[in-house]
Amino acid sequence: MAPPGHPDRLRGGFGTGRRRGDADPRGADTGPSPVDRRKTGSKHHLICDGRGTPLKVITTAANVNDVTQTLALVDGIPPIAGRPGRPRRRPEALLGDKGYDSNAHRDELRRRRILPVISRKGSPNIKGIGKLRYVVEQTFALLHHFKRLAVRWERRTELHDAFVSLACSLICYRRLKKTRP
């Protein structure tokens, strides 16, 4: 496994960002909020690299379990170019919180040669995972700085996903602009 600060390696982390949803409950990908059942909502599932660059975002209803989106996020990672040879498609390790704890998904990640670093429910957190998970939470904060994504106003999921893609592109552009002289 590559060291945490190694820039050339693809390391993944994933998580969930909950948001308030439409005023109209008939919108697609909305469901009862886990906090307030009267309101509908949706949430973002996100996977990013070790530096916080978003790789894949999925929008689901608020009542969808986090663990159901694990493999969809991993399969949705686009090829990452940079070094000579075939581009990597899979991370070496995947960090997740207790919401993604499932033995079946751990086994599937191992079968794909990905090391799952996921805290188990009912046990203390893995030491030092908070520092590494901060990158994912920071990416959620950057994504939700776009007010259009913090509160969902669109009924159609395609429109909302288009805004999410645009926000991810802007985040990547700003990171690229910082590194260039």
Single-letter amino acid, residue 128: G
For residue 137, tell me if it sits in a domain. yes
Residue 152 belongs to a domain: yes
The total of other beta-carbon atoms located within 10 Å of residue 156's CB is 11
pTM passes above 0.95: no
| pLDDT score of 141 more than 80 | yes
pLDDT of residue 79: 77
Q: Which residue has the tokens 């893995």?
A: 126
Which band of pLDDT confidence, cut at 50, 70 and 90, is reported for residue 109?
very high
Residue 2 lies in a domain: no
Confirm whether 165 is domain-assigned. Answer: yes
| Residue 49: CATH number of its domain | 3.30.420.10
Q: What was the pLDDT predicted at 33?
A: 64
DSSP-assigned letter for residue 34: S
Q: What is the pLDDT of residues 4-37, one digit of tens each?
A: 444 444 445 555 555 544 444 446 677 666 666 6
Residue 7 located in a structural domain? no
Interval 104-132 mean pLDDT: 82
Which residues span the domain enclosing 46?
A: 12-78+88-179
The answer to whether position 175 is within a domain reads yes
**DSSP designation for 87:** P
Whether 174 contacts 167, CB under 8 Å? no
Is 164 part of a structural domain of the chain? yes
Is the pLDDT score of 119 beyond 90?
Answer: no
Q: How many structural domains comprise the chain?
A: 1
Does 4 map to a domain? no
Contact criterion met (CB below 8 Å) for 143 and 135: no
Residue 46 has pLDDT above 50, yes or no: yes
